[in-house]
Chains A and B, each alone.
Chain A
Amino acid sequence: MAAEMEPPPLGDAGQTDFREIEDGEGFFVSTVTTLESPEPSSPDPPSMPAEGISTNGPKQEDISLDDDPEDLFAEATEEVSLDSPEREPILSDGPSPAITPVTPTAMLTPRMGLGTAEMFERSLDEIEEDDSGDTFDMHIAVSDPEKVGDGMNAYMGYKVTTKTSMTIFSKNETTVRRRFSDFLGLHSKLASRYLHIGYIVPPAPEKSIVGMTKVKVGKEDLSSAEFVEKRRSALERYLMRTVKHPILLKDPDVMMFLESSELPRAVSTQALSGAGILRMVNKAADAVNKMTIKMNESDAWFEEKHQQFENLDLQLRKLHASVECLVCHRKELSVNTASFAKSAAMLGNSEDHTALSRALSQLAEVEEKIDQLHQDQAYADFYLFSELLGDYVRLITAVKGVFDHRMKTWSKWQDTQLLLQKKREAESKLQFANKPDKLQQAQDEIKEEIEELEGKVQQGEKDFELISKTIRKEVSRFEKERVKDFKVVIIKYLESLVQTQQQLIKYWEAFLPEAKAIA
């Protein structure tokens, strides 16, 4: 099935990266050779670069850039480096996807991680230096949803406009057209690169089969218009959140997404694709994994933060539920107010006392206007408040995922250590083996393995420390962002409430003289 097809791309992509590395630093040449043989035993990471993967169809067609799938990243590098000198150092030793296949067995081969982690650390520092120079000034707008095509193959195209004064971008203003699966593809790429080393990658908006089917079928009603608007707004927030992250902003895929006019279709994001099924399998494996890893937490900070995030998750979910309730009730209120307005108008009509009749009709009008107010308020309730909460609930899931990755990294390290121990024991046992002719060869082999494992243990420790450090930084950034985000939204929301109250005052003050005029 699709799984069998996947290993080659792993190898390919791996090779590509090492080509970059070799260009830049020339690290770990020996490890390149081991990667060239595909490993059928290890399934691919849950989210592979979309370009390299096709499900059952031929891969070549999906790749618009080049015939040679291996050259994907090389291509990207060249394309991008033409634009600005600043980008080059970042890319050549920059965040290459340290693809860590996720399997239930501890015996993983993060060969690439060996090379990239150290470079990464260095480049991280460089990137931070860059940050101080170029202040964040960017605005992305997602607009103009347009239906493309017909029937079940139809989709919504969105216009993505990027306005920025930052020098890393080639132009001040770029406009491209993207579809939903493009966004998902971008997210899956970023997630595969950054999540397992501790970066909190903002989650993409959720799929909705029901919503999209309605749109595809061409149902031009209120609910499908609402659905499109909801999605558009979510996509915009997603992009803004992604670019606000200093590391993600500089990722080549992000830049490509924002700037290049054509993007290869991300088919692996389809729910029923081979990659999709693989994702589900891996998610299940992950869940089992989490339960079996028992980590000795030496760092109190992580313990505390973990607990904090659990709490936050609960509270946010609760709040989200309450706000959704509020939206629902307010919509109800609007409906009931409208129906009352109609009834009051009829009552006014049948009233034979003229002044009272007029007052009742006025009352009906006021209530009608108020109904409109309620509708608008419900809209604000939803878009400002409820969606923000939904975003954060999903973000927290990403944060928890990052903590889990740290656990996994620790567990890998420990497992490697155990393995080393076993090998050392095996070595000492060899002394008592009674095959003297093969002894030397066996001893050499074991020595080699031990050396290798020692290196791996060291790397594992470094990985663990790195991910811990990254997470600390990420968490503090996340907290700052969260407080800012919430504050901004709550202020906006309160202002919307204030406006509603102002309108109410206006309406009732206009009504009052009518009521007083009843003689």
Chain B
Amino acid sequence: MEYDPKHTSTVVLKPFSQSHGVGVARSVSVDLNNDASLLIDIPDALCERDKVKFTVHTKTTLSSFQKPDFSVPRQHEDFIWLHDALVETEDYAGLIIPPAPPKPDFESPREKMHKLGEGEATMTKEEYTKMKQELEAEYLAVFKKTVQVHEVFLQRLSSHPILSKDRNFQIFLEYDQDLSVRRKNAKETFGSFFKNMVKSADEVIISGIKEVDDFFEQEKTFLLDYSSKIKDSTARAEKMTRSHKNVADDYIHISATLNSLSVDDNTALKKFTNVEGRVASDEELKLTELLRYYMLDIQAAKDLLYRRARALADYENSNKALDKARLKSKDITQAEEHQQQCLQKFDKLSESGKRELTSFKGRRVVAFRKNLIEMAELEIKHAKNNMALLQGCIELLKSN
């Protein structure tokens, strides 16, 4: 890959499954449902300027699909469309819709590339090459991350008994032409803006409403509290990994300058900087991404609670309306019907909500466990590597 600070370039990344090993990439979310009837992955991605094109590959045994094995190109906006379509579907009000994948963010490496281009004159050739390599590694890391979150989003859907059968989902997977026609136009974007405003009003409702069910009462308290804590943790974990990266970068500069001083053999120090950089990015992948993902997931769970709370509020309003109607002896049947509807909706939401939240907790615990173990193991591995490198370097110096 040639990174020219002056021109943007097209980068093709080889199939991620090869570099990760199948199954490892799906780290932040874990499939509790081992159904192999619908398998989705993103084996390939292309980066053009700001746009990332994902290749979504589906393997299925279900008859609802036209082919058993197929791939389509998709953009980030297509994923958002799918997510919003699911959220807007009334039938899924009682489900936790998996959070939409965040937009691919190349801001940080792009900034670094810019700085690198500016500072080229002051660096030695070797330092420049090294920095470029680091930059490429960072681009790659951002890529990995964004592919992972998009993949996980689809896999959550495919493993969900109800959502996997969604029509829009199927279209997303199968439709071999550009989805942009179906995507948000200006009017719809406007509508979603309002929706967000309504949501914040919901937050007031949800905290004010009197909960009839113990389970939901507990969940509500837990989720509200946990949500703010995890947001905090995510932000701090981000800061931490960024500092770590800064330290690793500094080592690059130092080893380059030491080299030109030719005070000692610096290959070990250089390798050390490599490993430090990798520690930082692995840490990020495991810890920060884990927290970030669950922060979003918890938001989705909260959304479910909002919907349910709204349904409850509707139900209570319908009750009041019915009482009023009975008082006025007008439109009683209508009011009764409406009340029945509300009750039904509320019950459905409560039932599926309970199910969803329980499975959500299970999923969360398992995912945390997996990621924390992997992170600890990686830290140990890197530290051992570092130690071996450094000791080798010390031996070399002492023997001279």
A residues within 8 Å of B by Cβ?
312, 315-316, 318-319, 322-323, 325-326, 329-330, 332-333, 336-337, 339-340, 343-344, 346-347, 350-353, 355-356, 359-360, 363, 483, 486-487, 490-491, 494-495, 497-498, 501-502, 504-505, 508-509, 511-512, 515-516, 518
Contacts and interface: CB of A to CB of B under 8 A. Distances in A.
Nearest to B398: A491
A508 B380 CA distance: 6
A511 B257 contact: no
Given A329-B243, A518-B369, A319 B383 contact: no
Contact of B365 (A356, A494, A495): A356
B203 to A, nearest CB: 18
Contacts of B214: none
A350 B229 contact: yes
Nearest to A362: B372
B383 A501 contact: yes
B246 interface: yes
Contact of B240 (A336, A350, A505): A336
A497 B390 contact: yes
A347 B230 contact: yes
B209 interface: no
B83 to A, nearest CB: 26
Given A322-B250, A494-B390, A356 B257 contact: no
A507 to B, nearest CB: 8
B229 A346 contact: yes
A315 B254 CA distance: 10
A501 B386 contact: yes
Contacts of B263: 483, 486-487, 490
B239 interface: yes
Contacts of A501: 383-384, 386-387, 390
B332 interface: no
B296 to A, nearest CB: 15
B47 to A, nearest CB: 29
A-B pairs, top 10 by smallest CB distance, nearest first, are A333-B243, A518-B369, A326-B250, A515-B372, A340-B236, A329-B246, A336-B240, A322-B253, A504-B383, A319-B257
A424 B260 CA distance: 54
B254 A326 contact: yes
A352 B368 CA distance: 13
B368 A336 contact: no
B261 A490 contact: no
B261 A516 contact: no
B171 interface: no
A333 B240 contact: yes
A498 B390 contact: yes
Nearest to A331: B243
A136 to B, nearest CB: 22
A397 B237 CA distance: 44
10 contacts: A312-B261, A319-B258, A322-B250, A343-B237, A356-B365, A498-B387, A498-B391, A501-B384, A515-B373, A518-B372
Contacts of A344: 233
Interface of B is mostly: helix
A92 to B, nearest CB: 43
Given A340-B236, A494-B390, A333 B244 contact: yes
A114 to B, nearest CB: 42
B394 A491 contact: yes
A312 B260 CA distance: 9
Contacts of A355: 365
A177 B3 CA distance: 61
Contacts of A490: 263-264, 397
Contacts of A508: 376, 379-380, 383
Contacts of A360: 368
B372 A337 contact: no
B246 A332 contact: yes
Given A332-B243, A494-B393, A515 B369 contact: yes
Interface in B213-239: 222, 225-226, 229-230, 232-233, 236-237, 239
A329 B384 contact: no
Given A343-B233, A344-B233, A318 B257 contact: yes
Contacts of B257: 315, 318-319, 322
Interface string B361-400: 1000100110011001101100110110011011001101
A56 B368 CA distance: 75
Contacts of B368: 356, 359-360, 518
B17 to A, nearest CB: 26
Contacts of A363: 372
Interface string B238-274: 0110111011001101100110110110000000100
B268 to A, nearest CB: 8
B373 A325 contact: no
A332 B254 CA distance: 18
A36 B324 CA distance: 121
Given A340-B237, A511-B376, A505 B250 contact: no
Nearest to B253: A322
Given A347-B226, A508-B376, A316 B261 contact: yes
Interface string B144-155: 000000000000
B215 to A, nearest CB: 12
A512 B373 contact: yes
A487 B398 CA distance: 8
A348 to B, nearest CB: 9
Interface string B42-55: 00000000000000
Contacts of B361: 353
Contact of A325 (B239, B250, B258, B264): B250
Interface in B336-361: 361
